Amino acid sequence: MTALRDYVQWLRRYDDPDSPLSWRLRTVQQSLRDELDARPGPVDIVSVCAGDGRDIIDVLRTRPDADRVTVVLLEAHPEVADLARQRARHAGLDQIEVRTCDAADTGSYVGAVPADIVLLVGLLGNMSHDDVSTTIAATPQMCGPGASLIWSRGRDLDDINDRVRREFAEAGFTERAYVASDRRTRPAVGVMRYDGPAVPLDPDRRLFTFFR
């Protein structure tokens, strides 16, 4: 099997404001701001394969109402998870829990779902097409009724995003936004609303395997 990329090094691509990763970050953060503005009261967020959490943490650190938001970040890479903890601590966001765990195993979500906002950012392009379908089919277990889901997928290797959008619709989601860029890896970001019923979590499943 091909070795996975060095994700600590990968995060340095955020240093270039013109990189596709930076475009994705800005797009996700604006979507997150919009979702928080539209949701008064307590909000629970779960981020799958969260990286260093900057998409959520850097939004919350600027909000006077951040204390109403509870966050669980799921990240398998221990060093990257530690970076997320440091970032949350420096931002004074004690309500952020970072779990060093394999987000492909549904047991990692126990106690964190259903959530009001779910982030699937930076993972759907790193797994097989079958695993993409399996993961999408499981997302109703992560979302409470009316929850928002923000997802991304680059189109550098292939472009199956129309299929992704269709499969979210088949799983009970309504698309609220979809934006795409033609920068190098051709990133795209979608925002969905879950309009289906509550679905209990099956804690004994494996959803995906990363190939890069």
Of 199, 68, 69, 201, residue with least CA distance to 145: 199
- Pick from 98, 128, 108: nearest CA to 204: 108
- In this predicted structure, the answer to whether residue 148 has a pLDDT above a threshold of 80 is yes
Q: How far apart are CA 93 and CA 146, in angstroms?
A: 26
- What is the percent of the chain with per-residue pLDDT over 70, rounded to a whole number? 98
Q: How far is CA 94 from CA 44, 63, 74, 77, 89, in A?
A: 14, 14, 16, 21, 7
Coil vs helix vs strand at 17: coil
Residue 1 — pLDDT band, cuts 50, 70, 90? very low
Q: How confident is the model at residue 49 (pLDDT cuts 50, 70, 90)?
A: very high
Q: What is the pTM of this model?
A: 0.95
Other C-beta atoms closer than 10 Å to the C-beta of 140 total 22
Confidence of residue 8 (pLDDT cuts 50, 70, 90): confident
Name residue 13's amino acid: R
Q: Coil, strand or helix: which one is 194?
A: strand
Mean pLDDT of 46-58: 97
Q: What pLDDT shows up at residue 203?
A: 98
* Side chain identity, residue 166: R
Mean pLDDT of 178-204: 94
- The answer to whether 195 touches 172, Cβ cutoff 8 Å, is yes
> What pLDDT score does 27 carry?
98
Q: Which domains does the chain have, with CATH numbers?
A: 7-194 (3.40.50.150)
pLDDT at 151: 99
**pLDDT tens for residues 113-139?**
999 999 999 999 999 999 999 999 999
| Mean model confidence pLDDT for the chain | 95
**Helix intervals (H) in the chain:** 7-10, 20-37, 54-60, 78-90, 129-138, 161-170
Q: Is the pLDDT score of 47 beyond 50?
A: yes
Rounded CA-CA distance 28/50 in Å is 12
Distance CA 180, CA 113 (A): 28
Residue type, 126: N
Which residue from 27, 25, 36 is spatially nearest to 69, judged by alpha carbons? 36
- Is a pLDDT exceeding 90 seen at residue 13? no
Strand, helix or coil at 78?
helix
| Token pair 């995003």: residue | 161
Q: Residue 10 above 80 pLDDT?
A: no
Residue among 83, 113, 111 nearest 98 (CA): 83
Average pLDDT rounded to a whole number, residues 169-184: 94
Q: For residue 190, what are its two tokens?
A: 């979608």
20/13: higher pLDDT: 20
